[in-house]
Structure 1
Amino acid sequence: MFLISSFIVFAVFFLNVALGAFANSAFLGDVGEMLVLFLASVLFVVAILKKEADRSKNDDSN
């Protein structure tokens, strides 16, 4: 869930950068880009930490 959300938010960031570079029609400003990239990073870290917690829970039960 968090990993998919992270990829979707990053795709929005990438789409904005690509539109700004090629079509000169970016829909986010500098602060918006920063916040979207920060959100993608946070979601990715949460997904990785959840996966690590699940893995350690499975390792402890064996």
Structure 2
Amino acid sequence: MFLLISFVAFAIFFLNVALGAFADSAFLGDVGEMLVLFCATVLFVVAILKKEADRNDNDST
């Protein structure tokens, strides 16, 4: 779930950068871009840590 939400947040960031570069119509400003990318990064790290914890729980049983 966290990985999917992270992908969506990164897709929003990428779409904004692409629109800004090619069509000059970015819908987020600099701070908005930073917050979306930060959110995507944090969600990705949470997803990876949860997956690693689940794998460690399965290995110990």
Q: TM-score, normalised by structure 1?
A: 0.97
Distance of 2:51 and 2:8 partners within structure 1: 19
- Structure 1 moving runs of 4+ over 2 Å: none
2:17 corresponds in structure 1 to: 17
- Root-mean-square deviation over aligned CA pairs: 0.3
State the 1:15 CA deviation: 0.2
In 2: Cα distance, 1:51 partner to 1:5 partner: 15
The aligned counterpart of 2:34 is: 34
1:3 aligns with 2:3: yes
AA matched with 2:58 = N
Q: Distance in 1 between matches of 2:37 and 2:25?
A: 18
Aligned residues: 61
1:60 aligns with 2:44: no
Partners of 1:24 and 1:38 in 2: CA distance: 23
In the TM superposition, what is the alpha-carbon distance from 1:34 to its structure 2 partner? 0.2
CA distance, structure 2, for counterparts of residue 9 and residue 38 of structure 1: 9
Tell me the distance in 2 between the aligned counterparts of 1:34 and 1:8: 15
Letter in 2 for 1:19: L
